[in-house]
Structure 1
Amino acid sequence: MLKKGNKLYSILTGTCPKCHLESMYKDKNPYHLGNIFKMQERCSHCATKYKIEPSFFYGAMYVSYGVGIAFAVAAFVIAFLFIGTSLITAFIAIVATMILFMPIIIRLSRNIWINFFIKYDPKAFKG
């Protein structure tokens, strides 16, 4: 079970990488596409600024490529190797997976990227 203090907790839940007490996103649901990129300015618990510098999250595009490849490989393995579909059907499964999971991949990539730069601090809470 994931516990606070673990980077994986912050990455998978989208919480503040420093205190793990608050969601970084104004709307927690990544499938509300109009709000997918809308983030809080700062954490209300520890005052961590999420957008460290202008264009900070452009680096998440590189992470997104790797995460997307992982999802595509997983779709291929499931469709072609486990289910035994044809290559064309496996390709369609990859495309469908990438479209279906695009909002999750975007959020996950941003979460991974910010966790590269901000470390968990259990004493960060200023409440």
Structure 2
Amino acid sequence: MYRSSKLYAPKKTLEMNERCSHCNTKYKIEPSFFYGAMYVSYGVGVAFAVATFIVTYFFLGLDRLQAFLAIVAVLVLGLPVILRLSRNIWINFFFNYDKNA
């Protein structure tokens, strides 16, 4: 789906192929298609933040400030993963993946 497999190359993180190499499906079915992925990205980011808080505060015993700093670090470092994951989730609302097709 993406031109580069490198997540942490800022200019190449969201560069996508025009069509699927397997089934020839066009990824951008309209010019602003992936704007909806912003809403998915918000949900995924909140999930990452809640998971980070639970791990750092309850399991590692850090105080709230340290847990907050851990959340910020996870969200900043995980941004490319969150962006690609949200785009993949968004496109799967509209297209079904069939590995045998």
Normalised by the size of structure 1, how large is the TM-score? 0.76
Of all paired residues, the percent bearing the same amino acid is 61
1:104-123 equivalences under 5 Å are 104-122=81-99
How far apart, in 2, do the equivalents of 1:50 and 1:85 lie?
A: 43
| Larger relative contact order (CA 8 Å, sep ≥ 6) | 1
Give 5+ residue unaligned stretches, structure 2.
none
Normalised by the size of structure 2, how large is the TM-score? 0.95
How far apart, in 2, do the equivalents of 1:123 and 1:57 lie?
A: 26
Q: Which amino acid aligns with 1:32?
A: A
1:32 equivalent to 2:20? Answer no
Please give the per-residue CA displacement for 1:64-83, whole angstroms capped at 9, x wherever unaligned. 00000000001101110000
Decide which of 21, 24, 28 is 1:47's aligned counterpart.
24
Please give the per-residue CA displacement for 1:35-73, whole angstroms capped at 9, x wherever unaligned. 011000001221100111111000000000000000000
Partner residue, 1:77:
54
How far apart, in 2, do the equivalents of 1:71 and 1:97 lie?
A: 8
Q: CA RMSD in A?
A: 1.1
How far apart, in 1, do the equivalents of 2:79 and 2:71 lie?
A: 12
Please give the per-residue CA displacement for 1:13-54, whole angstroms capped at 9, x wherever unaligned. xxxxxxxxxxx0000122111101100000122110011111
Q: How many residues align?
A: 101
TM-superposed deviation, 1:121: 3.2
Decide which of 63, 72, 75 is 1:98's aligned counterpart.
75
Give 5+ residue unaligned stretches, structure 1.
1-23
